[in-house]
Amino acid sequence: MLKLFKYLKPYILLILVMLVLTYIQVMTSLALPDYMAKIVNEGVVLENEKLILETGVSMLLVTGLGALCTIVISYLSARIGNGFSRKLRTDIFSKVSEFSLGEMNKFSIASLITRTTNDIQQVQMVIIILFRMVMSAPIMGIGAVIKAYNTAPSMTWIMGVAVGVLLTIIITVFLIATPKFKLVQKLVDKLNLVTRQNLTGLRVIRAFNTERYEEKRFDEANRDLTDITLFISRVMTMMQPVMMLILNLTMVSVIWIGAHLVNTNDLQIGDMMAFMQYAMQTIASFLMVSMIFILIPRASVSGQRVVEVLDEELSIRDPKKSKKIIKKKRGILTFDNVTFKYPDADVPILHNISFSAKAGETTAIIGGTGSGKSTVINLVPRLFDVTSGQILIDGVDIRDMRQRELREKIGYIPQKGILFSGSVESNIKYGKPSATKQEVKNAAEISQANEFIEKLEKGYRAPIAQGGTNVSGGQKQRLSIARAVVRKPDIYIFDDSFSALDFRTDAKLRKELKSVTRDSIVIVVAQRIGTILDAEQIVVLDEGKIVGIGKHKELMETCKVYREIALSQLSAKELNNGK
């Protein structure tokens, strides 16, 4: 958690100002008992009304100054706390944006959301309380003890006993609570995960009538979190009454012993009252410290979780000296003996993959489930890095290119169309923010998205809900394709992006795509043979290995795996019409 304090560096000047104001505030608080003792000893006892009035006015002025300092301290602490959390959230988001799929899988999306919101909020709360209240506690406590000793040395032992008991209670609660707070954050992650899965999979849950099962899962996660939170709350709530009991016992002791000293003329009444105030201030300072001790265990756990994200070593980085593709003409994408193994996996999922995809040609990748098709194309934009071998664009290893420059060359269309909240137009322009309305319209026409866009009440300005929940799967895919088309990339990657389209729309779309991809490298991952019959090159994968490369007719004769896939989908007559 200490690493997070570097985010307070921009606020050093404000913190110094707060220290000065805190000192002034504490001094005003410590001065009030002296004024009260003076009023009682010299004003009331001697019936000096003028002294009482003058001292009372002084007390009001000192109190006003202390109140003003308190208001400014509260404002500055809130400003520092919110600025700290804003910068930290920004850095967390920036770091997560650089994560490869490997790092994303390590933390999980639910956990990253918790760390970016709840965990940072816990740290922010501690910082605000630290500056607003706890910063003054040590000065107040030490100052009050010194003042009390100077006022009535014979009663100082009462404060020592009270402080000792308070410290024992605080340390005990701290040792009990810390392990529980670690568990709380993990349970918050679990609850977020279950909630997210339920909300995103609502249609499937209803379709399979598993609402009760999911309610039970949520109830278990919720109950676990509730039970541990209640335990911590019960422990913490014991603090307040115990502290108040100690405070009241201290006051009773001061009055009891002080009354005897007053009776023997060893102590003045005003000094006894001042000592009581100092004792209250001392215990109050420890109460403030106890508040931060209550919050520190959870904030410490939260801070550690945030630091874990910030300190996570990125597996994919930009090279120190990047290379650029000098060749202006769009050329060739080459997989050269590529082997890939997922992080923490025992065996590679891809073995010695070698093929080339040329501009102006369509390279299709096909294979059974789990053969590694999507993994192959995920390596091109460096969502993962190859374990061995290399991927080259016009002879340049993609690991020698800056990630931004590499991905600017790629138009990636995932199997599951991802849309963002906004409008139809904003989702298409996501691929090229500077695109004109005509470019957006052309991209929609090529992707066959204009068929349903024109039927919408607001057309291209029609709203798209978060995740595209108000459009169908086929409409999502067409908008995703339009997003890539408007970008006019050097490399098009279609990860089974036609699976939700009917055959008529599929055929029209592929025909239109020919006009805009004639100078680009096109890689298509497909499950349907009909989508890739006219591909110039088909790469057949089986268990992570290439078992065939060629055109449709060649593979029907030479590749058993391809022939089995083809015959399982189309008749021999339909297949004979392929190239």
Is 114 in the same domain as 207?
yes
Single residue among 487, 512, 527 that ends a domain in this structure: 487
Boundary-marking domain end, from 453, 487, 521? 487
How does strand 545-550 pair with strand 350-358? Answer: unpaired
Q: Is residue 319 a part of any domain in this protein?
A: no
* 368 and 242 belong to one structural domain: no
What are 419's two structure tokens?
């849309």
Same domain, 140 and 220: yes
Sign of the dihedral defined by the CA atoms of residues 247, 249, 252, 256, in that order:
negative
Domain identity same for 459 and 553: no
Q: Are 501 and 475 in the same domain?
A: no
The residues, ordered by sequence, that sit 6+ positions from 416 with a Cβ below 8 Å of its Cβ are 476
Instruction: Give dist(CA 331, CA 335) in Å, integer.
Output: 14
Q: What is the CATH number of the domain that holds 196?
A: 1.20.1560.10
CA-wise closest residue to 28 among 145, 137, 140, 141: 140
Does residue 264 lie in a domain region? yes
Residue 316 lies in a domain: no
The CATH number of the domain where 519 resides is what?
3.40.50.300
Q: Are residues 398 and 423 in the same domain?
A: no
Residues 369, 382: Cα–Cα separation, whole Å: 22
Q: Do 348 and 231 lie in a common domain? A: no
Domain containing residue 523: 327-409+489-579
Does residue 207 lie within any of the structural domains? yes
Q: Are 351 and 514 in contact (CB under 8 A)?
A: no
* pLDDT tens digits in sequence order for the chain, 579 residues long: 667 878 888 889 998 999 999 889 888 888 888 888 778 777 666 677 788 888 888 889 999 998 999 899 999 999 999 999 999 999 999 888 888 877 887 887 878 888 888 889 888 888 888 888 777 888 888 888 888 888 888 888 888 888 888 888 878 877 777 778 778 877 887 888 888 788 778 778 887 788 888 889 889 989 988 988 888 888 777 777 887 888 888 888 888 888 888 888 877 888 888 888 888 888 888 777 777 766 777 788 788 888 889 888 888 888 888 887 766 555 899 999 999 998 777 888 999 999 999 988 899 999 888 888 889 998 999 988 899 999 999 889 999 999 888 888 899 888 787 888 889 899 999 888 898 999 999 999 998 888 888 888 888 899 988 777 788 888 888 899 899 999 889 899 988 887 777 778 878 888 888 888 888 899 999 887 877 888 889 999 998 899 999 998 888 888 998 888 888 877 666 666 554
Domain membership of residue 18 (yes or no) is: yes
Looking at the structure, tell me whether residues 170 and 225 fall in a common domain.
yes
Question: How many domains in the chain?
Answer: 3
* Amino acid making up residue 164: G
**pTM (two decimals):** 0.72
- Residue 297 · residue 178 · CB < 8 Å: yes
Q: Give phi and psi for 100, each to the nearest 5.
A: -80, 175
Whether 539 and 472 share a structural domain: no
Cα angle 531, 536, 542; round to 5: 70
Question: Is 388 within a domain?
Answer: yes
Strands (E) located in 359-432 = 362-367, 388-393, 396-397, 410-413, 422-423
Same domain, 143 and 271: yes
Q: Are residues 108 and 166 in the same domain?
A: yes
Rounded alpha-carbon distances, angstroms, from residue 423 to 126, 329, 438, 460, 478: 40, 35, 16, 7, 15
Which residue is associated with the tokens 């109830």? 219
Give every CB contact of residue 275 below 8 A, 6+ residues apart in sequence: 33, 148, 151, 152, 155, 254, 258
Q: What is the DSSP letter of 117?
A: I
In a domain, 339, yes or no: yes
Q: Which alpha helices (DSSP H) does 331-472 contain, by range? A: 373-378, 403-408, 424-428, 437-446, 450-453
Using the 3D structure, point to which of 447, 463, 487 is the last residue of a domain. Answer: 487
Same domain, 493 and 482: no
With 0-12 / 13-18 / 19 or more C-beta atoms within 10 angstroms meaning exposed / middle / buried, residue 273 is: buried
DSSP for 79-103 reads HHHHHHHHHHHHHHHHHHHT--HHH
Residue 296 lies in a domain: yes
**Using an 8 Å Cβ cutoff, are 345 and 506 in contact?**
no
